[in-house]
Amino acid sequence: MAKITIIGGGSWGIALSVLLHKNGHHITVWSKLPAEIEMLQNNHEHKMLPGVILPDDMCFTMDAKEALTDKDLLVFAVASAYTRQTAKELAPFVRDGQIIVNVAKGIEDVTYKTLSEIIEEEIPNAEVAVLSGPSHAEEVSRGIPTTIVVGAKKKSTAEYLQNLFINDVFRVYTSPDVLGIELGGSLKNVVALAAGVADGLGYGDNTKAALITRGITEIARLGTAMGAKFETFCGLTGIGDLIVTCASMHSRNRRAGILIGQGKTMKEAMDEVQMVVEGVYSAKAALGLAKKYNVDLPIIEQVNEVLFNGKDASAAVKDLMLRDKKIEISDTGWEE
Q: Is 284 a catalytic residue?
A: no
Relative to beta strand 170-175, strand 146-151 is parallel
Q: Which residues pair with 146 in a beta bridge?
A: 170
261 CA to centre of own chain:
22
Residue partners of 168: CB distance under 8 A and separation at least 6 = none
Q: C-alpha distances in angstroms, 303 versus 52, 265, 273, 287?
A: 35, 13, 18, 10
| DSSP element (H, E) containing 244 | helix 241-247
Query: 3-state DSSP: the chain helix, strand, coil percent, rounded to 5?
Result: 55, 10, 35
Using H for helix, E for strand and C for coil, what is the string for 198-257?
HHHCCCCHHHHHHHHHHHHHHHHHHHHHHCCCHHHHCCHHHHHHHHHHHHCCCCHHHHHH
Is the Cβ–Cβ distance between 290 and 222 less than 8 Å?
yes
Tell me the Cα Rg of the chain: 20
Q: Is 205 exposed, middle or buried (0-12, 13-18, 19+ CB in 10 A)?
A: exposed
Task: Give CA–CA dist 176/150, Å, rounded.
Answer: 8
Q: Please give the angle made by the CA atoms of 166, 163 and 5, to the nearest 5 degrees.
A: 90
Catalytic residue, candidates 105, 113, 188, 229: 188
126 CB-side CA count, 13 A: 31
The residue length of the chain stands at 336
- Residues annotated catalytic, as ranges: 188
